[in-house]
Amino acid sequence: MTKTENEVIQECLDKFIECANTLKDDGIKPKLVSHAMMCASTVYITYALAGNDGYLADADQDRVVDVYKKELQQIQAIKKRNQA
């Protein structure tokens, strides 16, 4: 059975969180783990959109920031609903 795009995304997300938790359990502060993950994500999105030797134009950077902001807002809305 072929996985949907959302299933693949969730599987990758779970692996990233597992890796982050392993780093935290190894004694690295969650804030530092988070910063490293954010840095890795920005490096990888540049690669995914512009290739290994490319870079993002200002407009593309703005679109990436908008996507990150939208994702953050969605996660926070879910967390708020779960607190109610």
Token code pair at residue 21: 């938790």
> Which pLDDT score, from 0 to 100, does residue 57 have?
96
Token code pair at residue 50: 């512009």
Task: Assess whether pLDDT exceeds 90 at residue 20.
Answer: yes
The DSSP secondary-structure symbol of 63 reads H
Distance CA 65, CA 44 (A): 14
Neighbouring residues of 34: CB distance < 8 A, sequence distance ≥ 6: 20
Q: Residues 6-16: what's their mean pLDDT?
A: 97
Amino acid at 25: D
Structure confidence by residue, pLDDT tens digits, 23-79 = 999 999 999 999 999 999 999 999 999 999 999 999 999 999 999 999 999 999 999
Residue 57 backbone dihedrals phi, psi, to 5 degrees: -70, 165
> Which pLDDT score, from 0 to 100, does residue 1 have?
87
Map tokens 């967390």 to a residue: 79
